[in-house]
Amino acid sequence: MVEELTGFILAGVSPIFFGLSKILTRKGILTTNLTSGVFVTILPSVPILLGFALVTGEFSRPLAFTPWTLLMGFLGGFFNHNLGRQLIYGSIKTIGAARTSQVATIQVPLSSLLAVLLLSEDLSVIVAAGTGIVFLGVLLIAFSAPSGTTRRNVGDLAFLKGLGLGLGGSVAWSLAWITSRAAVVGIGSALLAALIGYLFSVVLQSILVVVKGKFAEISKISRRDLSYLLASGFTTSLGYMLYYSSLGFLPVVLVAPLSNLSPVVATIGSYALIQKIERVNGLVIIATILVVLGSYIVVAF
């Protein structure tokens, strides 16, 4: 009973940090180059997850590092942190944290669909219905553009671009889920698979920063924006730590629905904390309810 309660608490708190990280990203990315912003946010995660793995004795477990599992871990990191964050942050920068959070939730049913296509898994009627509900929520987001989405009004074309970036990021995160899942199964540890992905992502993003000539721009990021971006990376890492910890007490079928509540946190947080740079209207609230309900159906059934 105590173990189950602990698992529920850990799983229930993790989406708070995931949602908060998007709000912090919104605050820090507005005047920051995307490539540099991604680099800053993924940097704190490596020492945090490495320390967590050492404290929890993750390296003492029977592990299997093969070229295939490492490749899957690398690809998971690329799709999640390099490509995925680049697109999602671009979306957050354009249409805001609340709307991007709803669009990004499409990765949940999309991951299920990819599992059906690539891993020959079954697609039930209930999961298909949940997928439809999530898509309906995302469709509402497409019609939710208000005036004042950013400090200046966003035109229709820019808003559509922001939606497109969010959808592209969702596809990348879905591919990250497929490849990371293969890495977890092969290695035998979700935490270490995530750590491998982060290590590869930091190296790759460092190369991109140097090649694109953005390294000097990092030193020019204002102290306030840098603090927001570092805090975003820190809260994301805390979210992952709580998520992985909850799996030690509860099965994933119970943890996943709770972890998918981050869009609610992003919507409430955007309304309460950053109204000056992001407007949350009724359509966003309805979309939040739909995508959370739909994603719950997908992962629970």
- DSSP codes, 15-74: HHHHHHHHHHHHHHHTTS-HHHHHHHHHTTHHHHHHHHHHHTTGGGS-----HHHHHHHH
Question: Do the beta carbons of residue 287 and residue 116 sit within 8 Å?
Answer: no
Whether 158 shows a pLDDT value over 50: the answer reads yes
- Per-residue pLDDT tens over the stretch 179-194: 888 888 888 888 888 8
- The total number of residues shown for the chain amounts to 301
Half-sphere exposure of 144 (CA within 13 A, CB side): 28
Decide if pLDDT at 301 tops 70.
no
256/206 Cα distance (integer angstroms):
32
In the chain, pLDDT over 70 holds for what percent of residues? 86
pTM: 0.85
Residue 178: pLDDT over 70: yes
pLDDT confidence of residue 149: 43
pLDDT of residue 47: 92
| Domain limits, the chain | 2-300
Q: What would the mean pLDDT of 247-261 be, rounded to a whole number?
A: 68
The mean pLDDT value of the chain amounts to: 82
Q: What is the pLDDT of residue 148?
A: 43
Is the C-alpha dihedral spanning 252, 254, 258, 260 positive or negative?
positive
% of the chain with per-residue pLDDT over 90: 28
